[in-house]
Every structure is written in structure tokens, then in C-alpha cells.
A and B are shown apart, each in its own frame.
Chain A
């Protein structure tokens, strides 16, 4: 049993980082299904359900822009040795700064078509989950602010009944893009061929990993 929803999302910037260019980040041309899943989960998610992205409608032309940001080069290490030796668990940006360039998307807008599947028999009233999700979207509630690939690029969202007409016509092939990560199998990535037909990317096709 599955229950479909449509969510309209938009924002000024987006950065769906390509794995091969994730240091000097370069965005994919369109939103990846895993980014869409992240947005839905930010609004409503429970262990009882699992979001699956069906289609992504692209409503704005693909435009890029370049920005640079100051970031940290290393992570705060919290391994055993640091704790035993009592090293402070912190990093100082002054000593560890890295300026990184990004090629980001500008002025994006999508409609996410998705459904959720129940993960078990517990808490398995789909009508309830659907109603909660709808109520939360309409009130603008979220667990944390959903974002387009980077926390700096927040998502505005709204409930969507009818998908606006497409701005794209014909077929466009974006090549292999990330579908999602398999967290149960050593976080291995899976990819799918993103083909946009009249502004719609169907994410339900074949996935390779």
C-alpha cells in the first residue's frame, strides 16, 4: 500500500553536489531523489514509514552561479585516543580555514511527487501519517528547516494539488546521477539515469549500485 503526495519546493540557491566534484563543489543540473527525500523527512518522518520519491518536476530553467565560502578543512575528531589523552574536542577556524568554490544552482523550483511505504506492522495506519504530513506542510511545520543540498540554502515549501505546466519541452538527458545511498550496505551509493521528459524526471526507473 502506498500513499502519494505532491510538494512544491522552491528557493534562491541549491547545491546538489556531484560526488566527483564535491571538494570544489559542482551541482547536478537537477535535484536528486535523495535530496528530495531529505526535504520530506525534514517535514515529517517516523521510523514507521519510508519515503520513496517517484517523480521530480522541474519548474525553473537550469541556471548556475559561482560562489566561494570559507570552510573548515578537517573534522573534529572524537576517537578513542583523543578522549583518553584528554585533548580538547574542538577546532579553531583561524588555523584550519579552507576557501572552497562552488558552482550552485540559482532560483530553483520543483514539485516532488513521492509516496511512503510502511516499514512494519507497528504504527501502521497510513491515513494517519498522510494526514499528519499534510497538516504539517500546510502549517509550515518542520523538524528542521529543509534545505537544497547545503544547510545555507533553505527550502520554501507548499502543499501542491496541481502541478504547474512545464517550462521544458522534449527530452533532456542528465546522465547518471545519484539516486540514494544504501545505509544498510556500508553506505554504498546508487545511481540512475536521469532523463527529463517535458520537465518531469521519473526516478522509479532502473537503479544501479
Chain B
């Protein structure tokens, strides 16, 4: 499954992905040396500061092996070839000596380069022979180089643009060197055939580095098998799959974050869907151009048509992989494979469920994140599990998580008297997104058809009561103008949960409002129109009906507000 798909992605990438023994890594600094191995000028800072704690690094294809990514215990003796951290290059880290690091780095270079007469290799060897670690602290940028944002330091030959490790001859030296490495043979679980086996899986940049496959505690090993023996994989398959995953994790438009899960996705072959997918699930508001085109695309999808270039890709497979970090290991949150056509059908269904009348300011196709934000007071309170299960339900067309519904109902109750912190204006507790989520869950999970705007023919008690509540609130506002605590602020949650205890009192109160207001008879008529169909006030409404209540309230309020607008009285 995952591994096979990643391997085929690697094969598809071709030149874009590094060959065996190489990896794309971040380079923080470059040191220029001349042919005699002397440092020329200052080290060059290749970092690009984005914000206080974040840098963009120069990326380069570097010689690499899996041993380097887990060098925790034997760090000093597992150097990388030609390019590494400052400790290895200069034998110093800040003010502390790193002799062993430096020696092992030098030894590896001697070993790999052998008799090579390449200018670059010779220059580096000459540099290492001459270098004294005590000079290190006099280097410009020394502190930054050793800092946590220092990353790796590369050599550059005087007068050349590329790094020494990028020289053709140096690359060949390394490629030949990794070829002679010996591996145990055995059956790979991927294809069931005998191969050289890789016992050390690659790590990925998640925090300090995390593995997708690792057996780092005793309890994780089975039948007395050690480490990689637990899941034998061939050297080639391991390299290809991890390179492909690294490529995805580095990419800008094939990766997105949903909750605590980093999600990557790809298609069987190059397709515009790859770029659209991220924008659909997680629209970036800053990039209006991209957002516009995605909205146009989704509008077409909603109508059941597709642009020709995507229609053509209808049958190709699409892969979605969600990973989250769990104690230096990557845990799979979801893995979904479908055809592009199926995916589009799921999106259509999802957005049809969500469709709700809205103002022009509201986002027509909310992303997963927009929906999740409506379930918690602050973004940090959003349940990561909910994020994963919501995404899964969108992609598979399965039922929406019930906690999504409960979360929104909870927020509606909690926000009933919410005021804008500066202006003191009351903020609507049932907004477009909340109404849309409630509607989507009711439609998909409970098979309840819910309209997207006011349906005055609907006779369900919960729906009628929601409307009635909006009308009563309006009657109060018409009569009293600006009030500190409206009936919504005080009674919304009680009215939606236990109507029988609230509505009689509100109706009595409304008579006073009707009397007082200039056009009170309008409210009176509205109330009676609704009350005509209400037989009794139920003692309780269940959660599902409370959702319907909130939607009806939203609908009725919009309807009232629209009328206001035509009379140009302004609203809310």
C-alpha cells in the first residue's frame, strides 16, 4: 500500500528526486576555500529569515546515508560525506572541542576519495590537514553556524558557484562508495522477493527527526527479531519510498496541515488536481488568485461538471496520507486511495451538504480548518482527533463525526451573549459556518433534509420554534431599540433545550413589546403565522432538534434582516 505507492511516485518523479545515496538537505552556510585549502573571505550565510524563529534554507542534493539520520548515540563517529554540521567540519562547537567528530569526518573523506585527483576533493583534504580547531571561534558567523538554525555547512571552491559536493567527480566518488556497501539478504515484505535488506529506515524532518518505521523499544519487537528484521524491506524500496516522502514533505503545494496531522497527497501521474487539492481542504486566504480559481473549480464541481484537463484524469488514482508525530515516531492518521473522479464526487457531496445562505463576506467553500474553528473557543482547543476524522469523513463520504455537531452546539450555547470586545455590539452566535455545519451533519448523519434558506412551509416543531425565537427577538428590538441583554442573550440555550419552560414567558413578554413598538402589528402577525402550526411546546429538544432550532433561527433572522435592508433601516 503506502510503500508501493511511494515507490511509484519516486519512479514518476525521475530527475526531481535524488538518486540512490543522495538526499535533499538544508544548507545553512557555505565556506569558500582555495585550491590549497585556505579559507577565502567570510563564510556565506545562505539562510533567509522568515520570522523570529523560522528560516528558509538553501536546499541542495547532498551525499547522504540513513546512518546519519539516527546518529544519536554514536554521533561523533557517524559523519556525513563532504557536508555536515560545523562540529564535524571545524572540530569545534561553540567553545567546546569536537575532536572525534572532526577526525571521523576527515577519515570518511580520506576513505571515499582515495586516490582521486579531483580539485574539489583535494582542496577539502588540504583544508582538513591544515585546519586547527582553535581558529574556529574567530570565524565570522561562528555563533550562528553552531546555533540551532545553523544546519549544515558546505564547502565551495574559490571561483565556483556550486558546492564542492555538487561537483560531478565528487558525486561519482560517493555513488561508487555507497555501491560497495554490503547488506544482509532476505525477503522483502513489499514484493516477496529476495533482496539486499535495509535495516535502518530513513527519518523525516518532524521536530528533531522522526521515523515512519522504527522499532526503538523492546516491546515493539516480535519473535526476538531485532530492529529492521521485524519488517524486512529492500535497500532500493526503502530508499525510493523515503525519498518520495521527503519530497512530498518538502513540497509547498502537495502538503498541508490539518489539526496536528501533516497531510501529503499525490496522484498517479502529474495532474492539476495535485495543486487544487490542498487549496480545497485548506484555502489560503492570502493568495486570492489561487483562491478564485479554486472557487471557480469547485463551483463547476458542484454543478457536476469538470474542467476538461481534470475530466481527462477522472480515472487516475489519488493518494492521501496523513501523518502525525507521536514521540519521535510518525503515526499514520489516515491513508486514503481513490480515483480523482471519486474524490470530486465526495467534494461535491460535502459542499452540497454544507451549502447555506450567506453574505458576500463569508467563504463559499470553507476548508477543514474553517469548520474546525467553530468547535472550540481557541484554535489550540481543537481536538486533533476530530480534525483527522472530519477529513476522513469528507474524503470517504462517511458520516461526519458526531463531536463536530456537539462542538458547534456547545459553542452556540456558550456564545449566546457574546459581545464584540471593543464596540460592545452583540455577535451572532449562530453564524453562517455553524449553521452550515449543523445542516451538513443533519443531512448526512441523520438523513434530515434541511433547506439552505428559510422554508416557511416546514412544520417540524423544532424548526418552527427556532423561527419563533428569531421573531420574538426582533419584536423586542423593534420595541426597545438598543438593549443590554436581549432575549437571545438570556434565553437562547434554554429556549433551544427546554422550550416549554421558556416560550410561554417570552410570548407573554412579547405582547408588551408589540404594544410599545411603532409597527408592533407586524411582529404580531409574524408570531401568529408561526404559532398557527405549533401545537405544544415540548419539554425537551434532543441534540438533533437543537441543531434544527439553531438553523431555523439563522434562516428566520436572515429573512427578517433582508426585509430590513430593503426598507434601508440597517440591521444588527
Contact = CB atoms under 8 A, between A and B. Distances in A.
A124 interface: no
Interface size class for chain B?
35 or more
Contact of B222 (A21, A22, A29, A100): A22
Interface stretch (A7-15, A45-53, A68-76, A80-88): A68-76
Contacts of B398: 63
B77 to A, nearest CB: 26
Given A64-B392, A66-B385, A175-B1, A21 B218 contact: no
A23 interface: yes
A75 B329 contact: no
B217 A73 contact: yes
A24 B225 CA distance: 17
A26 B219 contact: no
A187 B224 contact: yes
Interface in A55-69: 63-66, 68
A76 B157 CA distance: 56
B217 A74 contact: yes
A208 B324 CA distance: 33
A19 B230 contact: yes
Given A22-B230, A23-B214, A191-B192, A73 B326 contact: no
Contact of A20 (B189, B191, B192, B218): B189
A209 B187 contact: yes
B529 to A, nearest CB: 46
A101 interface: yes
Interface string B219-260: 110111100001101000000000000000000000000000
A26 B335 contact: yes
A119 interface: no
Contacts of B389: 65-66
Given A20-B233, A63-B398, A208-B187, A103 B332 contact: yes
A99 interface: yes
Nearest to B1: A175
A141 interface: no
Interface string A172-209: 00111010010000011101110000000000000011
B335 A103 contact: yes
Contacts of B327: 98-99
A100 to B, nearest CB: 7
Nearest to A67: B385
Nearest to A177: B189
A68 B329 CA distance: 14
Contacts of A72: 219
B219 A75 contact: yes
Given A66-B388, A74-B217, A103-B335, A176 B190 contact: yes
Nearest to B220: A23
A143 B435 CA distance: 53
B215 interface: yes
A20 B199 CA distance: 12
Nearest to A24: B331
A191 B189 contact: yes
Interface in A127-149: none
A164 to B, nearest CB: 22
Given A103-B332, A175-B1, A73 B231 contact: no
A68 B327 CA distance: 12
A187 B335 contact: no
Nearest to B186: A188
B142 interface: no
Nearest to A206: B192
Given A73-B217, A103-B335, A176-B189, A24 B388 contact: no
A208 B218 contact: no
A73 B187 CA distance: 28
A181 B3 contact: no
Contact count band on A: 35 or more
Of A63, A101, A178, A187, the most chain B CB neighbours within 10 A belong to: A101
Which interface residue of A21, A187, A191 has the most chain B CB atoms within 10 A?
A21
Contacts of B385: 66
A74 B326 contact: no
B154 interface: no
A201 B330 CA distance: 31
A66 B258 CA distance: 15
Nearest to B218: A74
Contact of B213 (A21, A100, A209): A21
B360 interface: no
Nearest to A19: B231
Contact of B215 (A18, A23, A71): A23
B217 A181 contact: no
Contact of A19 (B189, B216, B324, B392): B189
Interface string B195-223: 00000000000000000111111111011
Contact of B333 (A66, A75, A98): A66
A24 B332 contact: yes
Contact of B223 (A66, A98, A181): A181
Contacts of B324: 101
Contacts of B329: 23-24
A164 B471 CA distance: 55
B334 interface: yes
Contacts of B222: 19, 22
B411 to A, nearest CB: 24
Indicate the member of B191, B329, B332 with the most A CB atoms within 10 Å.
B332
A175 to B, nearest CB: 6
Contacts of A65: 389
B331 A101 contact: yes
B218 A176 contact: no
Interface string B388-416: 11001000101000000000000000000
A14 B449 CA distance: 34
Given A63-B398, A99-B327, A101-B326, A22 B334 contact: no
Contacts of A181: 223
Given A22-B220, A74-B217, A99 B326 contact: yes
B111 interface: no
10 contacts: A22-B220, A23-B214, A23-B220, A24-B330, A64-B335, A66-B385, A66-B388, A74-B219, A101-B331, A187-B224
Given A101-B331, A191-B187, 10 more contacts: A19-B231, A20-B231, A21-B231, A22-B230, A22-B231, A23-B213, A24-B330, A101-B324, A191-B189, A209-B187
